[in-house]
Structure 1
C-alpha cells in the first residue's frame, strides 16, 4: 500500500470534524511511541521550548552520569544512544536554535567526560561530525545568535 502525499492528507484532514480528527490522532499515537512523544511535545511542551530544552539537558546529564562507570565499549554504545535520543528531541522542536543549543551541550558533555582522550577514533569522528553539524546549523541562524553560538563552538574546537 502506497502512502498518500502530505498535501492530500492535509486536504483530507481539513474536511474532518474535530471529533474525528482527535480520534485519528489518538489512534496514531497508539501505534508508535515516537508518534506519542511528538504529540505530547506538541500538546504540552511546544509553548515552553526553553523548559523543554532544559528537560532534555537534564536527561542528557542523567545519561552521562550513568555512563561514567561504563567500560569503553559500553560507553560508546551509550553515547550513541544519547545522541540518537537528543536528535529525536531536536526533530520534535523543529527549531534550529534548539538544535544548536542541544548539540553544543552534547559536545560539551562529551568533551568533559574524558572519552575523547582515550584513543578512540570512532568517538573522535562522532565528535567531529557533531561539530560540523553545529557549524552548519549556526550558519542558518540570525547574526546575533550566530556570534554567541560561534563563541561556544570555538571553545569546543579547542583541544
Structure 2
C-alpha cells in the first residue's frame, strides 16, 4: 500500500466529521509511541513552551545521571541516545528557539560531564558538530534571542 500525500490527506480530512477525526487520532496514537507522544505534546504542552522545555531538560538531566561511565564506549552510546531523544522532542515542537535552547543545554551538559569528553575524539566531534549546527540556526531567530544564545554559544566554544 502506498501512502497518500499530505495534500490528499488534508483534502480527505475536510470531509470527515469531528467524531471521525477524533477516532482516527486515537487509533493513530495506539500504533506508535511517537504518535502518542506527539499527540500529547499537541494537546497538553504546546500551550506552554517554557514548561515543555523544562520537562525535556529534566529528562535530559536524568539521562545524563544514568550514563555508565565505565568506558567511553558506553558513554558514546548513551550520549547518542540522549541526542536522539532531544532531536525527537525538537521535532514535536517545531519552534526554532526551542531547538537552539535544547541543543545548547545538551552541549552544556556534555561539556561539564565527567570524565571529560576532551579525551575522546568521537565525543569531541559530536559536541563540535552540535555547536556548529546551533551557530547556523541562531541567525534565524529574533534579535534578543540571537544575542542571548550567542553569548551562551561563545562560552561553550571556549
**TM-score per shorter chain, which class?**
over 0.9
2:90 maps to 90
Length-normalised TM-score, structure 1: 0.95
Give the superposition deviation at 1:70.
4.0
CA separation in 2, counterparts of 1:7 and 1:41?
Answer: 23
1:116 maps to 117
- The count of corresponding residues between Structure 1 and Structure 2 is 157
Give the superposition deviation at 1:92.
0.4
The structure 1 segments of at least 4 consecutive aligned residues displaced by more than 6 Å after TM superposition are none
In the alignment, structure 1 residue 29 sits paired with structure 2 residue 29:
yes
C-alpha offsets along residues 25-67 of structure 1, whole Å, 9 cap, x if unaligned? 0111111111010001101111011001001000111111111
CA separation in 2, counterparts of 1:36 and 1:70?
Answer: 35
Asked if the contact 2:68/2:74 (under 8 Å) is kept, the reply is: no
Give the superposition deviation at 1:69.
3.9
Asked if the contact 1:116/1:124 (under 8 Å) is kept, the reply is: yes
Asked if the contact 1:63/1:82 (under 8 Å) is kept, the reply is: yes
- Residues 43 and 136 of structure 1: CA distance in aligned 2, closer, same or farther (over 3 Å): same
CA separation in 2, counterparts of 1:3 and 1:63?
Answer: 35
CA separation in 2, counterparts of 1:65 and 1:36?
Answer: 26
List gaps (5 residues or longer) in structure 1.
none
CA separation in 2, counterparts of 1:111 and 1:68?
Answer: 17
Give the superposition deviation at 1:71.
2.4
CA separation in 2, counterparts of 1:76 and 1:102?
Answer: 19
